[in-house]
């Protein structure tokens, strides 16, 4: 089945499809750590060749778990360390683009023929993109009609829908009916940085893709028709997507992440960030240890905040589209926090599961436990590697 997440940003020096790839690497440059996954194709199977993660904090004199950003030269040396450590050998790669330097949006547009829409979309996009349109790469796609919220507008009511006032569309027949268009934009600066990085590492990037799409590929099946909420609990923020029938319907960033949990532990227990990070990973909200109450008072409000916000987005979605969200999937290193899924269940009132994206790859059975635990952190990198091998 065609992968609905594959369309976005096929920006590549070597376009996909030209040369079949046998082994490829997905590279996810997260705010607190870089993740790589090398996958090979053996007959019709995707096989995990190697994977690795490197915390970036120490490269900026910060602790493990802390966020840091770097210029191209520093990044070359960090990723090169990681490649060595993980034993990466393939040179065909793909990079994820952080959601914070991109934009995913569903906008309402007049129901125009595709050519007219192609003219109208960049004009509409200007309203939402806070930088000059020339500084971004834009991609878009009309969402399937049957899944739009106006699909059920009763006959006679359609005329009441707002008409476009866009002067550039003057002379074009603008029907009252609207459609939804998925809009995605990447800042060119980020692509330029990763291109430099690739040059320095002597690797060949085949494409750049907003991290959201990579994650969805590795954790949601396109045949999954019911709406699913995917919640990526990263270090600096929590990224939430509602996907339905293989299409992104909402992308939302919640401004708190797992490093805020570490910060709160550090403050309440008067320990440095590194120690707090250790405590967080070991105990979380497990209610073990002498400091369980203090820990709970520090950590719970942040996790509650994240899932209360997530719930607000889900409720809005359900109200707008009149369809229940079926379940929530947690990804990102923050999903490993002990006790976090319980709070998610309470706040969201949904079936909640931690994603296990390594499941999609063949690997030795003896590694299954380790891979299950590591899985949530590698969702982005796995999604990239999958597209590299499946689209080629």
Ligand X SMILES: Nc1ncnc2c1ncn2[C@@H]1O[C@H](COP(=O)(O)OP(=O)(O)OP(=O)(O)O)[C@@H](O)[C@H]1O
Which residues are at the interface with ligand X (CB under 6 A)?
30-33, 65, 98, 234-237, 257-259, 262, 277, 280-281, 284, 332-334, 336-337, 377
**How many residues comprise the chain?**
392
Structural contact between residues 26 and 383, judged by C-beta atoms closer than 8 angstroms = yes
In whole angstroms, the minimum distance from the beta carbon of 314 to ligand X comes to 20
What is the number of other CB atoms lying within 10 angstroms of the CB of residue 274? 17
The one of Mg ion, ligand X, none whose footprint includes residue 164, by CB under 5 to 8 A per kind, is none
Q: In what order do the strands lie in the sheet with 228-233?
A: 247-254, 238-244, 228-233, 327-331, 351-354
Binding segment for Mg ion (CB under 5 A), chosen from 9-17, 22-30, 42-50, 58-66, is: 22-30
In whole angstroms, the minimum distance from the beta carbon of 31 to Mg ion comes to 7
Q: Nearest Cα to 286, choosing from 211, 225, 338?
A: 338
> How far apart (Å, rounded) are the C-alpha atoms in residues 331 and 69?
22
The one of Mg ion, ligand X, none whose footprint includes residue 259, by CB under 5 to 8 A per kind, is ligand X
* Sequence-ordered alpha helix ranges (H) in the chain: 72-86, 114-125, 188-201, 211-219, 258-269, 273-282, 292-321, 340-348, 368-374, 379-390
Closer of 284 and 383 to Mg ion (Cβ): 383
Cα dihedral 387, 226, 253, 110, rounded to 10, equals 90
Measuring CA to CA, how many Å separate 48 from each of 6, 87, 137, 262? Answer: 20, 12, 32, 32
Binding segment for Mg ion (CB under 5 A), chosen from 26-34, 54-62, 215-223, 240-248, is: 26-34
The one of ligand X, Mg ion, none whose footprint includes residue 383, by CB under 5 to 8 A per kind, is none
Q: Nearest Cα to 99, choosing from 212, 184, 189, 228?
A: 212
> How far apart (Å, rounded) are the C-alpha atoms in residues 52 and 374?
10
Closer of 21 and 243 to ligand X (Cβ): 243
In whole angstroms, the minimum distance from the beta carbon of 103 to ligand X comes to 16
Tokens encoding 242: 């509602």
Q: Nearest Cα to 185, choosing from 116, 127, 245, 136?
A: 136
Per-residue contact string for residues 234-253; x = within reach of Mg ion by CB under 5 A: x-------------------
Residues in region 207-236 near Mg ion by CB under 5 A = 234
Q: Nearest Cα to 36, choosing from 70, 84, 106?
A: 84
Closer of 98 and 110 to ligand X (Cβ): 98
Closer of 99 and 121 to ligand X (Cβ): 99
Binding of Mg ion by 30 (CB under 5 A): yes
Q: Count the site residues for Mg ion by CB under 5 A.
A: 2
Tokens encoding 353: 């599961």
Structural contact between residues 51 and 18, judged by C-beta atoms closer than 8 angstroms = no
The one of ligand X, Mg ion, none whose footprint includes residue 148, by CB under 5 to 8 A per kind, is none
Structural contact between residues 34 and 56, judged by C-beta atoms closer than 8 angstroms = yes
Binding of Mg ion by 205 (CB under 5 A): no
In whole angstroms, the minimum distance from the beta carbon of 81 to ligand X comes to 16
Closer of 4 and 234 to Mg ion (Cβ): 234
Closer of 49 and 299 to ligand X (Cβ): 299
The one of ligand X, Mg ion, none whose footprint includes residue 251, by CB under 5 to 8 A per kind, is none
Closer of 246 and 376 to Mg ion (Cβ): 376
Binding of Mg ion by 333 (CB under 5 A): no
Could you list the residues that contact Mg ion (CB under 5 A)? 30, 234
């Amino acid at each position: 089945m065609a992968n609905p997440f594959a369309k976005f940003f096929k920006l590549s020096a070597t376009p996909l499809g030209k040369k079949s790839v046998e082994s490829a690497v997905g590279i996810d440059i997260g705010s607190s750590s870089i993740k790589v996954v090398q996958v090979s194709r053996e007959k019709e199977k995707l096989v995990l060749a190697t994977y690795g993660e490197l915390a970036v904090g120490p490269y900026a004199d910060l602790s493990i778990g802390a966020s840091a950003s770097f210029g191209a030269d520093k990044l070359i040396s960090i990723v090169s360390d990681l490649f060595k450590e993980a034993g990466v050998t393939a040179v065909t790669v793909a990079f994820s683009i952080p959601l914070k330097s991109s934009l995913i949006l569903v906008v309402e547009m007049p129901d125009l023929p595709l050519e007219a829409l192609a003219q109208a979309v960049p004009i509409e996009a200007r309203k939402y993109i806070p930088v000059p349109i020339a500084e971004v790469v834009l991609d878009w796609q009309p969402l399937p009609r049957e899944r739009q919220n106006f699909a059920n507008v009763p006959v006679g009511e359609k005329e009441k829908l707002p008409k476009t006032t866009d002067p550039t569309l003057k002379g074009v027949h603008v029907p009252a009916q609207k459609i939804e268009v998925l809009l995605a934009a990447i800042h060119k600066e980020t692509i330029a940085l990763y291109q430099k990085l690739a040059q320095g590492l002597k690797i060949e990037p085949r494409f750049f893709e907003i991290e959201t799409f990579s994650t969805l590929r590795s954790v949601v099946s396109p045949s999954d028709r019911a709406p699913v909420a995917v919640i990526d609990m990263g270090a600096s923020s929590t990224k939430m997507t509602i996907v339905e029938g293989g299409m992104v319907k909402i992308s939302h960033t919640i401004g708190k992440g797992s490093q805020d949990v570490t910060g709160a532990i550090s403050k309440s227990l008067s320990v440095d960030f590194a120690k707090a990070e250790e405590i967080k990973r070991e105990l979380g909200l497990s209610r073990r240890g002498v400091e369980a109450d203090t820990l709970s008072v520090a950590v719970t409000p942040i996790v509650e905040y994240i899932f209360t916000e997530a719930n607000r987005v889900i409720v809005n979605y359900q109200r707008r589209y009149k369809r229940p969200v079926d379940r929530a999937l947690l990804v990102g290193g923050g999903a490993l926090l002990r006790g976090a899924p319980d709070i998610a269940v309470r706040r969201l009132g949904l079936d909640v599961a931690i994603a296990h994206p390594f499941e999609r790859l063949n690997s030795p059975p003896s590694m299954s436990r380790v891979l299950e635990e590591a899985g949530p952190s590698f969702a982005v990198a796995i999604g990239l590697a999958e597209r590299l091998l499946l689209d080629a």
